Chain A
Amino acid sequence: MASRDSDPGPEAPVPSALKILVAGGFGAGKTTLVGAVSEIAPLSTEEVMTEASYGIDDLSGVESKTTTTVALDFGRITISPSLVLYLFGTPGQERFWFMWEELSEGALGAVVIADTRRLETCFAAVDFFEQRGVPFVVAVNCFDGAHQYEADEVREALSLNPDIPVTLCDARERESAKQVLLTLMNRVSEQVAA
């Protein structure tokens, strides 16, 4: 059973939710961007994952398991009484690919935040969304004091398809973060129409 939404009942209308992922390396500005547009202060949820070794399904493997806590920061934008948009900052490290798998399912699209001081920290996210066909845009977060690159230089370094939008942004600014999301939504619409 997927849902219990058939009974409208006397309760308040239950909105449907959509999500957009905000990916990027540690410190690239994921939570900052989410916070800039979210109507609530970003919340943090934790997923405790126990990682077992391959091929071991009996109890003897217990001592070799390690527990990893993956924190996810997210924000919320109420679109209408029947529609809520969630923005999830996704852990950037490649070793958290299993979280991306779950998170990207049903996602409208993704924003990959590029930090030009450590551009390689967004490679894994670009690879992931590219291969899964998840619509995405690259937002270059322009940090104070960091060398400013042109969007095209970043596009070239990331070997992006020409149709993937690359925008420069200041993740702290609502207007700037908003433009990034609008760019993504236009990209999503294009991809749906295609």
Chain B
Amino acid sequence: MQAHDEFDPGESPHGLPQRAAVGGFDADTPEGEEAGPLVRPYVIAQGRDHADAVQLDMISVVIAAKRAEVDEMALEPEQLRILELCRRPLSVAEVSAHLDIPVAVVKVLLSDLLNRGLALARAPYTAKSPVSRDVLQAVLDGIQRL
């Protein structure tokens, strides 16, 4: 697909550029060197990867386990901050934003906390668990109330 970086408003009769209806986006043939396999850095996570990680989504909602005994020495400082923050339910993305730690790193730190039983996570709705009409209606009503 061509980048449409330069747009001359004089070119089309309506003054709007025309999108080609067929073709277009093709993830299989990324152009140039911009796209490629991605390796995410885990600096704080000490090189651990997803091998032992609980599957967490950006919008998995996490809460610190209430009566868990926390061995502070066994945890990273960032993990203690996560537990502090997650006294109320927050998404992985919110934790990332509040602590200014990339999402990928938050996921690794969190999955460790989940494996230790120090936090609980609720998986979001996914394509595998399609949203029911009741939920759709609830969302519609919720937006209506804004």
Interface residues in chain A, defined as those with a beta carbon under 8 Å from any beta carbon in chain B: 1-5, 7, 9-19, 37, 43-54, 57, 65, 67, 72, 74, 76-80, 83-86, 88, 94-95, 97-98, 101-103, 105-106, 108, 116, 118-121, 123-124, 126-128, 130-131, 147, 149, 153-154, 156-159, 174, 178, 181-182, 185-186, 188-189, 192
Chain B residues whose C-beta falls within 8 Å of the C-beta of A101 in the assembled complex: 27
Q: Which of A12, A53, A119, A154 has the most CB of B within 10 A?
A: A119
A189 adjacent to B140 (CB under 8 Å): yes
Further contacts, 4 of them, CB under 8 A, given A54-B36, A153-B14: A97-B27, A108-B139, A119-B7, A158-B19
The bracket for how many chain B residues form the interface is 35 or more
B121 adjacent to A3 (CB under 8 Å): yes
Interface residues in chain B, defined as those with a beta carbon under 8 Å from any beta carbon in chain A: 1, 3-4, 7, 12, 14-21, 24-25, 27, 30, 33-41, 54-55, 57-67, 88-89, 91, 93-94, 96-98, 100, 102-104, 114, 120-127, 130-131, 133, 135-136, 138-144, 146
B140 adjacent to A185 (CB under 8 Å): yes
**28 A–B contacts from the bound complex (CB under 8 Å):** A4-B122, A9-B65, A10-B66, A11-B63, A16-B122, A16-B123, A17-B61, A37-B146, A43-B97, A45-B103, A47-B104, A51-B33, A51-B34, A57-B37, A72-B93, A74-B97, A86-B59, A86-B93, A98-B35, A98-B38, A123-B4, A124-B1, A127-B24, A156-B14, A157-B12, A157-B16, A182-B143, A192-B136
Complex CA gap A192/B133 in Å reads 8
Complex CA gap A119/B104 in Å reads 32
B35 adjacent to A95 (CB under 8 Å): yes
Q: How would you classify the secondary structure of chain A's contact residues: helix, strand, loop or mixed?
A: mixed
User: Which residue from chain A places its CB closest to the CB of B92 in the assembled complex?
Assistant: A45
A51 adjacent to B138 (CB under 8 Å): no
